[in-house]
Amino acid sequence: MPKSSKEIKTNAMRILDTQKIPYTTYTYECDEFVDAIQIADMLGLPYEKVYKTLVTQGNSKNYYVFVIPIAEELDLKKAAKAVSEKSVSMLHVKDINAVTGYIRGGCTAVGMKKLYPTRIEKSALLLEKIIVSGGRIGVQLELSPQDLAKASQAEFADIIVAKQDK
């Protein structure tokens, strides 16, 4: 059966459309989770432009979302400070869907079940466009960092492990 040429919109895409935020869609064939570096390689995208979405839980039991370049590591101390928490820890994979409404590999800061405090790595501001998950495995969206922040009500912060600390 040939695929329909009608694009299936994800929740994230519908929200961006409603807010009249322009984006470009990239799709790829994938039946299961692959990490963001493999996706960038499949699509021929530069690593510094592709960002991953990480979900954490703070001491307060509140959830927080962090968007960082795929080749970087979240600095949990900086992340906690950015959201005024004593500490944060990564959300267990089995809890991602219940908390966000998305599955591992398709998680994006736009359109989660609830609007969680979100921080985007501040180096994104140096780029005209960044690429993030589109809300489903097989879909990536390219948009300006400012538009991603607007759609997810995010702030920019220094949240990655410094090069000399790696």
- The confidence score (pLDDT) of residue 69 equals 96
**Residue 9 CB burial class (10 angstroms; 0-12, 13-18, ≥19):** middle
pTM of the complete model beyond 0.85: yes
- The confidence score (pLDDT) of residue 6 equals 52
- The confidence score (pLDDT) of residue 162 equals 86
- The confidence score (pLDDT) of residue 39 equals 87
| Residue 28 to residue 112: CA distance in whole angstroms | 22
Domain ranges of the chain: 35-160
Sequential pLDDT tens for the chain (166 residues): 344 445 689 999 999 999 999 999 998 887 666 788 888 998 899 999 999 999 999 999 999 999 999 999 999 999 999 999 999 999 999 999 999 999 888 899 999 999 999 999 999 999 999 999 999 988 999 999 999 999 999 999 999 998 766 5
CATH architecture of structural domain 35-160:
Alpha-Beta Complex (3.90)
